[in-house]
Amino acid sequence: MSEPNSVSPHWLATRTALLAEVPGWFDSQEAESLTLSLPDEDWLLEITPDSRLVCVAGYDLDDMKSMLSDGTPEDLGTDELAKQVKFFLQQTTSKYRQKLVAEGFTERMEMNDDFVAANFEQPIDLSAIADLRKKIHTCQSWFRP
């Protein structure tokens, strides 16, 4: 969900090490973020080529539209759909916001025609693989239901 700004010179080595050492990464191209599901199914963890650790919760607008209309012919307007999705996202993020902010993450909302997402991100040092591995495991432990 996050797009890289500039690729760190340490990206390829770190990416290779993380793929070998941490199971469960989604398939991605070399220049794309590494993405991992977190134990709370609404959340993903990303390591970006531009040196950011991002915890993401988001909803696909078409999926939400289907869920909210519950098979009825009623069509939600864009504004109403966005309002409902933001409500669900607020519920999803409220459980973790305080911990993430206390640990130095900053929150950024992202919305386009396809999805709405809350991104909690912090800069990381891609050359410090042991520290990064520890941060990944810490995030995984926070999001256990």
| pTM, to two decimals | 0.85
Where are the chain's structural domains? Answer: 11-142
> pLDDT tens for residues 29-77?
999 999 999 999 889 999 999 999 999 999 888 888 777 776 554 666 7
Q: What is the pLDDT, as a whole number, of residue 66? A: 78
What is the per-residue pLDDT across 38-50, written as a single tens digit (0 to 9) for each?
Answer: 999 889 999 999 9
Amino acid at 144: R
Cα–Cα distance between 24 and 58 in angstroms, integer? 19
Q: What CATH number labels 11-142?
A: 3.90.1150
C-alpha span between 41 and 102 (Å, rounded): 22
Instruction: Give the tokens for residue 109.
Output: 């909302």
Residue 15 in tokens? 């990416």
- How far, in Å, CA of 143 to CA of 17, rounded? 23
DSSP letter at 41 equals T
Task: Look up tokens 């992202």; give the residue.
Answer: 110
